[in-house]
Amino acid sequence: MRIIIANWKMNLLSKDIDGFCAACVAEYKAKPGVEAGIAPPSIYLKDVKTKLGNCGVKVFAQNAYFEAKGAFTGEIAMAQLKDIGCDGVLLGHSERRHIFGETNAALVKKVKAAREHDLLPVLCIGETLAERDGGKMFEVLREQLAVLKETGPGALVVAYEPVWAIGTGRVATVEQVREVHAFVAEELKRLLGEAGAEVPIQYGGSVTPDNFSELIQVPHVSGGLVGGAALDPAKFLKLVQQAQ
């Protein structure tokens, strides 16, 4: 399976969302083996779900908490996401890790909680430039993927996003992507057995329609987690078409 997800991060307003969703409803044509999704800010999740209707584009939250309910001001429960019709949730994005201190221990609980509520978890991994240049890239990625030892097999997408390529305009070379995705694919099989071979591995980091047609042909690249380019519905739909 290939999957393209537009991560809007903390961008867009209602007026922008109206046009974006209208474009998806009018132009998105689903094809077997390829899925498309949008991860809007949480305040707009229900609005996006309603506006997309039955067009086939899925809706993902950008984060959620692992507790079922309780006194956790500002957090959102997996059950609440499911209640408004979400299909999945991004977990462990580098911005959550590096800005907000999200830990691997928390991610174990989040992946389990997402699965318990029939939400597709998208586990994000990626190294910083210092970690890559310091020769620690594979060590970092192995540690981030190690949460799967505790979650076990189940519904899952992995998104590899080198931190140094997010929003910088700098894209990993085809050879760099090939090397890392081959490593991740082997780690998934080591951790999850044969089930690991079925896990889609997205690439993210300054993805655009200009470079994605080449990236999507790299072995073990099963889609994209896209930031800036996916704020434009025409570019988002173009990326989906390239994956199809």
- pLDDT per residue as tens digits for the range 55-69: 999 999 999 999 999
Say what the pLDDT of residue 164 is.
87
Question: Whose CA is closest to 138, among 174, 171, 180?
Answer: 180
DSSP state for residue 203 in the 8-state scheme: E
CA atoms of 167 and 165, how far apart (whole Å): 6
Q: Give the mean pLDDT of 168-186.
A: 92
pLDDT at residue 24 greater than cutoff 80: yes
Say what the pLDDT of residue 166 is.
79
Confidence class for position 183, pLDDT limits 50, 70, 90 = very high
Say what the pLDDT of residue 167 is.
76
Q: Give the mean pLDDT of 134-161.
A: 97
Q: How many domains does the chain have?
A: 1
The tokens describing 37, both together, are 């999704």
Confidence class for position 168, pLDDT limits 50, 70, 90 = confident
Which segment of 10-19, 159-168, 219-228, 233-242 scores lowest on mean pLDDT?
159-168
CB atoms within 10 A of CB 8: 22
Q: Which helix (H) or strand (E) holds 19?
A: helix 14-27
CA atoms of 4 and 2, how far apart (whole Å): 7
pLDDT at residue 30 greater than cutoff 90: yes
Confidence class for position 50, pLDDT limits 50, 70, 90 = very high
pLDDT at residue 169 greater than cutoff 90: no
Domain limits at 178?
2-243
Cβ atoms 189, 179 nearer than 8 A: no
3-class DSSP string for 38-84: EECCHHHHHHHHHHHCCCCCEEEECCCECCCCCCCCCCCEHHHHHHC
Q: Give the mean pLDDT of 35-49.
A: 98
Let me know the angle formed at the C-alpha of 177 by 173 and 181, rounded to the nearest 5 degrees: 175
The tokens describing 138, both together, are 């594979």
Q: Which residues are catalytic?
A: 93, 161
Say what the pLDDT of residue 160 is.
97
CA atoms of 75 and 96, how far apart (whole Å): 13
pLDDT at residue 171 greater than cutoff 80: no
The amino acid present at 74, given as its one-letter code, is G
Cβ atoms 111, 124 nearer than 8 A: no
pLDDT at residue 170 greater than cutoff 80: no
**Exposed/middle/buried for 36, CB within 10 Å: 0-12, 13-18, 19+?**
buried
- How many angstroms from the chain centroid is the CA of residue 39? 8
Which segment of 22-26, 204-208, 220-224 scores lowest on mean pLDDT?
204-208
- Domain harbouring 154, CATH code: 3.20.20.70
CB atoms within 10 A of CB 54: 6
**pTM: predicted TM-score of the whole model, two decimal places:** 0.96
Q: Give the mean pLDDT of 195-215.
A: 95
Percent of the chain beyond pLDDT 90? 94
Instruction: Report the residue count for the chain.
Output: 244
Q: Token match 């961008």: residue?
A: 11
